[in-house]
Each structure stands twice: as C-alpha cells, then as structure tokens.
Amino acid sequence: MMLAAIKERFDYRTALIALALVTIGVISVYSATYDAKAADTFHKQLLFVFLGFITMVGVMFIPFRLLQLISYPAYFLSILMLVAVLLLGRTVSGSTSWFTIGPFRMQPSEFTKITCVLALATFLARSDVSLRRFRDLAIAGGIVLLPVALIMMQPDTGTALIYLGMFFPVLYWAGASQFTLLSIIGPIVAAVAALFGTTLFLIAVVAFGVLLYLSMEHRIAAAAMFSLTVLVGISVQFIYDGLKPYQQKRIATFLDPNTDPLGAGYNILQSKVAIGSGGVFGKGYLHGTQTQLNFIPEQWTDFIFCVPGEEFGFMGSVTVLALFIALFIRGVGLAATVKNRYAGVVAIGVTSILATHTFMNIGMSLGLLPVVGVPLPFLSYGGSALIASMAMVGLLLNLYANRKEY
C-alpha cells in the first residue's frame, strides 16, 4: 500500500536513470582525473553530486502552483545575473560566463536555461496566447532570444545553441504551425548545407521548397520564406569565400578532422581514437591509454564520453547512450501525460535541453558534430552544469507528482 503510494507520487524510474548516469559520471571523472594531478577535481565533483541531489529533492518538492508563480521572477532574476556576469564575471577560456563565490565558480547561463523554459511555459500556457499569431510567436521568441543574445556576448556559442534545441520542440509541442517550424529551421538547414557545397545546398533548397509548398498557408509568406532561405544559403557561401584562410581552415577541419590532426581536428581525432580503440569490452577501468595518458583534451569535461567509450568499450558507451534515451523517452512521455499545459511545456523544454546537450556532446565525441563546448549532463565535471541537470530531473519528478493537476 505504502509502496504503491510512493510509486504514485514518485517517478522512481526517472530518478534511478539519473542516479545511474550520475554514478557513471563519478566513475568516469575519477578515471579521467586519476593520475592526472587532478584528484582535487574528483573530490569537488563528489561535493557537486551531493549538492545536486539536494537541489533535485528541493525542486521536486516545490509546490506546483508556487513553481508557476515564481517562473517569471526567476526568469528576470537570471537575466539580471547574465547581465551582471558580463559586467563583473570571470573570463575562463575566452568566455566571460563565471561568477566566483568563495572557492566555487558559478555559471548563471546553466540556470537561465531552466528559468527560460519556465518563463516560456508560463507564457505559452496562457489561454489567450496562440502561436498561430505572429505577435505571440514573437514574444515567445523574445523570451528565448534575450538570454541567447546575452550569452552570445560572453561568447558561448555552445550554450546558445542549447536554447535553440529547446525552443524548437517547445514550439512544436505548444502548437506552432508546420509552416512556422519550417520557417525557423529552413534558413538554418540551408546555411549548414551551403557549407558542404553547392550540390547539397541545392538539394536542401528543393526539399525545403517541397515541404513549404505542402504546409503552405499564405502564398506570399511562403514565397518570402523560401526566398529568405535561399538568400541565407547563398550569403553563407559568399561569407565563407570571404573568410580569412584560417577561418576557412577551421570549418574545413570540422568537416574532415583528418586534414589537420594537430590543430582543432586533434580533439576530434583523439576522441575517436579513444572510443574506437575501446572495442567491444573496452580496455578496462583505469586502463584506457588515451584517457590515462591525457591524450584527450578536456577529458573530464567536454570529452568525458571517451572514458566509458575507451575503458568499457561498446558495451559501456551503448549503456550510457541507452540510459540517456530512456530518460528522454520518459520525459516526452511525461509531457504527454500531464494534464496541465504549463507542465507539458516544461517537461518538453527540460527534456529537450538535456537531449540537446547529450546529442551535441556525444555527437562531438563521435566526430559527428563540430567541437562546441557543451558538457554531457550528469557525466561531465562541473558544478553548475551538474546541479542544473539535477534541478531539471527534480522538475521532471515534480511534474510527475503533480501530473494530474490541471
């Protein structure tokens, strides 16, 4: 009886998945910092895990109504912090995104992601708001673009991209039309395709044109959108040609890391070597030569996925990937289960943030995506990111407990 009551209020599956990922994270950070004169890092991470669990439990028990009530204030507070960090923050690796509090540093942009989702959900949950209206669409875009603009000023492209990865599913979930979604994604796809050459660009344009035609509501709007997309693609090509050689090289390196093994491509290559050399069962815990001999840069932060990949092989990396997928499936499932519109958007938003992080990070480690510094949730070393991730799990647990509320 008691157990059933707990199961009713507590999404233990999601909690267990998060616990498993955090555990793998701790193990991986230990390995990555083992022998690397960074034992301090590991001990700090243990403390962050502790703080993360406290945060998770705390968020889980925030009364549902209170959560909705504080969404806007929290959003504005976090925006203020982003402004403050730009003015007063510490610069690490060329990016001013840190606050120093005693021995710890804090990255407000990690938390703005959450408050941004909350604010967005609050806005979209209003009964008088419809994404079919341009005004409301613009306001929703504004809620997201404000922190993105501030973060781009730090600059921190990776984190800014996370907002886009969150915004698109949220719009979809909240009822934006296919045309709207296409209009947002079209220019982005065209720009990326243009980088890979004219052929791919033309294919993308044709495909986009067909999709646009099928979801067309206004001829003029569609034509305008199509022209805009073509224009973006062409200008990207022109911009690329106008870039300085070293900038072009950077892009070329991303497209084929082997061309510059000791430059920027080095990270991708070493990461692929680490994961690839892991084979089926891995080289054994603490026996990954790439990891232990520090061949992978940023191995306890952005490239942490190499550790399970190298030391536990295919088995290890698939386990990690599968745990993440399970978490996202649960998140989406929860979004469809909750009765409250606000709760649904928050669930989708939070899940999307975690998924975007995960797919960008692992994609980078696997050499599928460019090197942009985003941490892998639960696994990467870093207090702000871990606490933020745990807070998001806390949100999911909170929404589960309150899933029947209207």
Shortest reach from residue 278's CB to another protein, in Å = 6
Shortest reach from residue 8's CB to another protein, in Å = 21
Shortest reach from residue 126's CB to another protein, in Å = 8
* Closer residue to another protein, CB minimum distance, 198 or 289: 289
* Closer residue to another protein, CB minimum distance, 33 or 95: 33
* Closer residue to another protein, CB minimum distance, 288 or 375: 288
Residue 219: in which H helix or E strand, if any? Answer: helix 219-242
* Closer residue to another protein, CB minimum distance, 216 or 315: 315
* Closer residue to another protein, CB minimum distance, 290 or 402: 290
* Cis previous bond, 187, omega within 30: no
DSSP conformational letter for 259: G
Find all residues with CB under 8 Å of 169, minimum gap 6, and list them. Answer: 348, 349, 351, 352
Shortest reach from residue 268's CB to another protein, in Å = 12
Find all residues with CB under 8 Å of 329, minimum gap 6, and list them. Answer: none
* Closer residue to another protein, CB minimum distance, 116 or 362: 362
Sheet-wide strand order for 104-106: 90-92, 95-101, 104-106
Helices (H), 243-264: 245-255
User: β-strands 104-106, 90-92: how paired?
Assistant: unpaired
* Closer residue to another protein, CB minimum distance, 210 or 325: 325
Shortest reach from residue 154's CB to another protein, in Å = 28
Shortest reach from residue 277's CB to another protein, in Å = 4
Q: What is the DSSP string of 285-323?
A: TT--HHHHTT-STTTTTTTTTHHHHHHSHHHHHHHHHHH
Shortest reach from residue 391's CB to another protein, in Å = 22
Structure tokens at 121: 């959900």
> Do residues 335 and 170 make contact, with C-beta atoms less than 8 angstroms apart?
no
Backbone angles phi, psi at 349, to 5 degrees: -60, -50
Shortest reach from residue 157's CB to another protein, in Å = 21
> Do residues 217 and 177 make contact, with C-beta atoms less than 8 angstroms apart?
yes
Provide the residue type at 242 as one letter.
G
DSSP conformational letter for 207: H
* Closer residue to another protein, CB minimum distance, 223 or 318: 318
Q: Is 55 exposed, middle or buried (0-12, 13-18, 19+ CB in 10 A)?
A: buried
Shortest reach from residue 9's CB to another protein, in Å = 21
* Closer residue to another protein, CB minimum distance, 97 or 122: 122
* Closer residue to another protein, CB minimum distance, 108 or 367: 367
Residues for the chain: how many in total?
406
Helices (H), 61-216: 64-88, 108-125, 134-152, 157-173, 178-195, 198-214
> Do residues 42 and 33 make contact, with C-beta atoms less than 8 angstroms apart?
yes
Shortest reach from residue 36's CB to another protein, in Å = 9
- Footprint of another protein (CB under 8 A): 125-127, 169, 172-173, 175, 270, 272-280, 289-290, 293-295, 309, 313-314, 317-318, 321-322, 325, 328-329, 332-333, 335-336, 338-342, 344, 348, 355, 359, 362-363, 366-368, 406
